[in-house]
Structure 1
């Protein structure tokens, strides 16, 4: 163990800003001692920081071409794909320490996630939403005639959640692609990764990084949030529905306000994925979808509908899934829970164990002596929400297409669906899911890895934030007569 103390700022402000009041937090790890420094903020300091990032945006970021911005983000991402990169080492040591997640899980998932933001993926992301990404640089011809240009917000205030490490940079990168100044409020659950990523941007281009501030403060600190909202043109909030509603009350009418609140995802397993050749692989992949970041992502399945007719029946599937979750837990243990989280799991277990004793068609398969994982089997079709932390409901289905509509009670909350079934059934199943509000259908084993350009919660990522200015075709033609050299 290294005896020296490594000091890390758990915040990022423009180089012109001085932070004088600091609180410190010591973390002793097997790989060294780290002192995290947090700013003590006031509304006046938020106002000062907001003005600085907006000035830096106007003087530099707004003048860069979209291709230049993509190239600079790509350079920062490539640093993170180097196993020897120092900031990556800090993240791999400290994020498991702060969050409680398994260190190997954090290492693998951060690496996989960051690959999504390489240049080729960012260009796909832009092309998904704009016919011409150059519309963010200048007026470009429209197919119907005339010209258009897209303008991002001058500044964006992001309220980040901390349940899944790394996802905060999705929002930050959106802001950079729109040439917006960005202030990100981090969660106490995971305040570090956005700071380290912006430090990487600063290594590539300090002026670009000066258009971003990453700040931690306790959620619900009204005077700080009111100031940050007041200074921003757009607000993006990630988190629970309670968090979203609290921020919504502070946002004046007329400001762009995007929210990503509580959602529920599910998995569908057709009999074609349960043949003798495929059932073990299917169960293994589903166990990973359930286990990665302990179901804290809204992309993780909380229920799975398993079709009869395979080499293993739905009840056997549930038992085998339980065994696979046990193996996964031995390899990558679940994070330690708060007393409240552990109690939620125990309440669910108790409820369904009592139902099983009362003759209900339900069974509970659970880890012994702890709450590491729980599988609840229902001998009928349906869907149920989970207390998370590797707790999954398995429902029997006679036929997927007939049973999916029974999930309509959760229509307002449905997010992603993992699917393993015959390709000939894809579009019929997709139509049913789409009508229920599901906005993403992915392979089993890939549920936590949404691809760039996906329609998050069914909307756009960039288009929902921009405004357009159109030059009509007849104006172009009309102005030609004022050319002194016109024929």
Structure 2
């Protein structure tokens, strides 16, 4: 592992990847978002991260089938335990990321499951009514006889990657390749390594492949105008595909304008809704608690789909029975993952304060990061994170609807048979996805994400009008 020893503490180095070339250097020092760990990067060579508009994108005329085959081979290499780039990536990321090393390793290698031929084909087919548009100019003719050709043209994309989920890098690279984009990945301070590891794996397969030539990955501090004022321009890129919190999105919005668009995977909060049927027996209560804990502990509650708030249709006694079971299962899952992160000071102080209000709140667990459940009659006014679930007792699940809004991503629901009664109201309130409780993590292949078909949004839709067919 490359390190720079400027003090007694080793500083991790994060190289860049520019269109097939690894660029190393310790020119600039940064600090990771969550842990405050110092890491170093090269200076950004601005002239090398921009692909000229005068040149046709390298992937434009590469058949989609060939691109998918290359992605599948990449997936096989990522899953290979002997892959030196993935191993090196995990070694480095373990020092900058809040998640335990085994969780990070499982995330990166597990995400390679997306690089499956059936999965990739299904994603394309769900995003494009006629996938031929990715490979060719598709002829069309309207009822007046007017002819045209339409193509899903290769875009120029900047991907602002999230720091909470290393697996997103795998999916983003695959999506960028399948729409034949020229891609610049802005890595996060929590994970300035995974994207480069995947691209190095690709380069080892074929350093001259058009997929490799279409990919670059660098890091800069979000909001750095010295970088963003240069790169965030329609002369160079068509769209920004942005993941992350409100600050990350705000950094992008100020640069938007004609010819430069935002495709945003906004920060979201996911919840659970548990009906009175969970209390029919001890068996159903145990089942609901286990399913709810599974959703809470997705990526140890770092993912957007991880449940934060659980609305339970019950009186206080039954709600407390549910909380007790839920807490035990969260603690077990946290212990099994090896995650021993303590709560940050502000969060501990907020929870310590409400623990003194015995009549309003019930609390299971301690503020030591081993897992907690807080029962209340309204959602707490802080963001539950680091293995904390807020159980909100309601007389009816109808009462939970007032807490639904456009920032609510996924709703895990129990019992399953009542979902149809609520899905229209949930959608009307802004929810993007409702699933069986316990299944917030997996999703149907090719389904919309954040209320859109992303690949359809990524491309530059181009029409060639060819006049009216001669009579």
Give the TM-score range, shorter chain.
Answer: 0.7 to 0.9
Partner of 1:314: 319
Matches within 5 A, 1:49-64: 49-51=49-51, 58=56, 60-64=58-62
Q: Which residue of 2 aligns with 1:354?
A: 356
**Deviation per CA, 1:172-212, whole angstroms, max 9, x where unpaired?**
32221111111111111111111111112222332321211
Answering whether residue 402 of structure 2 is matched by residue 406 of structure 1, we say yes
How far apart in 2 are the matches of 1:305 and 1:195? 41
Residue number in structure 2 paired with 1:485: none
Equivalent in the alignment of 1:294:
300
Aligned residue in 1 for 2:35: none
1:371 aligned residue (369, 372, 377): 369
Structure 2 equivalent of residue 193 of structure 1: 194
Q: Partner residue of 1:164? A: 165
CA offset at residue 279 of structure 1? 3.1
Structure with greater helix percent: 1
Partners of 1:58 and 1:470 in 2: CA distance: 17
User: Which residue does the alignment assign to 1:262?
Assistant: 267
* Contact 2:156 2:182 (8 Å CA) reproduced: yes
Alignment partner, residue 435 of structure 1 = 428
- Displacement of 1:90: 2.9
1:11 maps to which of 12, 16, 30: 16
Q: Residue 99 of structure 1 contacts residue 190 of structure 1 at CA under 8 Å; is this kept in 2?
A: yes
Q: CA deviation at 1:9?
A: 5.5
Match of 1:218 among 218, 221, 226: 221
Q: CA deviation at 1:317?
A: 0.7
Query: Secondary structure of the residue that 1:61 maps to in structure 2?
Result: coil
Change (3 A) 1:79 1:143: farther
Q: What do you get for the CA RMSD once the two structures are aligned?
A: 3.2
2:177 maps to 176
Secondary structure at 1:463's aligned position in 2?
A: helix
Question: Cα distance, 1:17 vs. partner?
Answer: 8.3
Counterpart for residue 123 of structure 1: 121
Q: Residues 113 and 449 of structure 1 are in contact (CA less than 8 Å); yes or no, is this contact kept in structure 2?
A: no
> CA distance change for structure 1 residues 457 and 463 in 2, over 3 Å: closer, same or farther?
same
In structure 2, what is the Cα distance between the partners aligned to 1:328 and 1:254? 47
Shift of 1:451: 4.5
Report the Cα offset of residue 255 of structure 1. 1.0
User: Alignment partner of 1:406: what SS?
Assistant: helix
Alpha-carbon distance in structure 2 between the residues aligned to 1:348 and 1:334: 22
Cα gap change, 1:122 to 1:8, in 2 (>3 Å): farther
Q: Greater shift after overlay, 11-20 or 74-83?
A: 11-20
Q: Distance in 1 between matches of 2:440 and 2:346?
A: 24
Deviations 1:32-86 (A, max 9, x none): xxx9862122xxx22332137x78x836311101111111111101222333333
Q: How far is 1:137 from its partner?
A: 1.0
Structure 2 distance, partners of 1:439, 1:376, is 26
Cross-structure match for 1:150: 151
What is the CA distance between 1:431 and its match in structure 2? 1.5
| Other structure's SS at 1:62 match | coil
CA contact (8 A) 2:157 2:238 kept: yes
Q: Distance in 2 between matches of 1:36 and 1:383?
A: 36
Regions of 4+ moved over 6 Å: 16-21
Aligned in 2, Cα 1:427/1:347: closer, same or farther, shift over 3 Å? same
Distance 2:39 2:258 in 1: 38
Q: CA–CA distance in 1 between the matches of 2:330 and 2:157?
A: 40
Query: How many residues are treated as equivalent by the alignment?
Result: 447
Per the TM alignment, residue 153 of structure 1 is displaced from its structure 2 partner at its CA by 4.8
Selected match of 1:415 from 409, 416, 440: 409
**1:468 Cα deviation after fit:** 2.9
Give the 3 Å change call, closer, same or farther, for CA 154–330 of structure 1 in structure 2: closer
CA distance in 2, matches of 1:17, 1:406: 51
Aligned counterpart, 1:30: none
Residue deviations 1:388-421 (CA, integer Å, cap 9, x gap): 1111111223332x2232214xx13111111231
* Deviation at residue 98 of structure 1 after TM alignment: 2.5
CA separation of 1:18 and 1:391: change in aligned 2, threshold 3 A? closer
Structure 2 residue aligned with 1:40 = 43
C-alpha distance in structure 2 between counterparts of 1:346 and 1:383, whole Å: 13
Report the CA distance shift for 1:14/1:112 in structure 2 as closer, same or farther (over 3 A). Answer: closer
How far residue 116 of structure 1 moved from its aligned partner, in angstroms, is 2.3
Distance 1:95 1:17, change over 3 A: closer
1:459 aligns with 2:464: no
TM-score (norm 2): 0.85
TM-score by length of 1: 0.82
Offset from partner CA, 1:115-162 (integer Å, 9 cap, x none): 123111111111111112111111235596755433345311111221
